[in-house]
């Protein structure tokens, strides 16, 4: 059991800790945003769209999002095997909030960076 899973199990009734610990990591929102843009994506396509994510981390992130019902994984019995990922209805219902957060981040990034620099100069 990971530290996050242990922490979540300690506070199962807290929706903020429970949900944000799953989608508030470094990669989940990027994967959701990428799937929003592509509608359906294969693993390698997602990896190319998020070039700094490792194969292991993309696999882990997709499994977490699938476990939470935000992403649907479809495996096709072909040779070579084909697997596609897409947002579920629940995942799509999260998108307006993700889009608002992205908009807020883009709109405030310059001021945040300036605040960080000012803080470092004070320290």
Which pLDDT does position 14 carry in this prediction?
78
CA of 45: how far to CAs of 19, 38, 82, 98, 112, in Å?
26, 9, 12, 21, 32
The answer as to CATH 1.10.10.10 being correct for domain 15-121 is: yes
- % of residues, the chain, pLDDT over 90: 69
pLDDT confidence of 90, banded at 50, 70, 90?
very high
Q: Whole-angstrom Cα distance, residue 61 to residue 79?
A: 25
pLDDT of residue 17: 78
pLDDT at 20: 84
pLDDT of residue 1: 66
What is the Cβ-side half-sphere exposure of residue 77, based on CA atoms within 13 angstroms?
A: 0
Which of 14-18, 108-112, 117-121 comes out lowest in average pLDDT? 14-18
Cβ–Cβ < 8 Å for 83, 37: no
pLDDT in tens, 25-76: 989 999 999 999 988 889 999 999 999 999 999 999 999 999 999 999 999 9
The structural domains of the chain, with segments of one domain joined by +, span: 15-121
46 or 20, higher pLDDT:
46
User: What rounded mean pLDDT belongs to the chain?
Assistant: 90
């Amino acid at each position: 059991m990971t530290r996050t899973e242990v922490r979540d199990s300690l506070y199962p009734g807290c929706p903020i800790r429970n949900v944000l610990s799953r989608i508030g990591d470094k990669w989940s929102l990027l994967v959701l945003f990428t799937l929003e843009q592509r509608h359906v994506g294969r693993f390698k396509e997602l990896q190319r769209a998020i070039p700094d994510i490792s194969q292991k981390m993309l696999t882990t992130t997709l499994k977490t999002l699938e476990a939470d019902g935000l992403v649907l994984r479809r495996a096709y019995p072909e040779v070579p095997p084909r697997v596609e990922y897409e947002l579920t209805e629940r995942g799509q219902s999260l998108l307006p909030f993700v889009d608002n957060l992205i908009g807020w981040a883009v709109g405030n990034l310059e001021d945040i960076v300036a605040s960080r620099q000012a803080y470092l100069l004070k320290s």
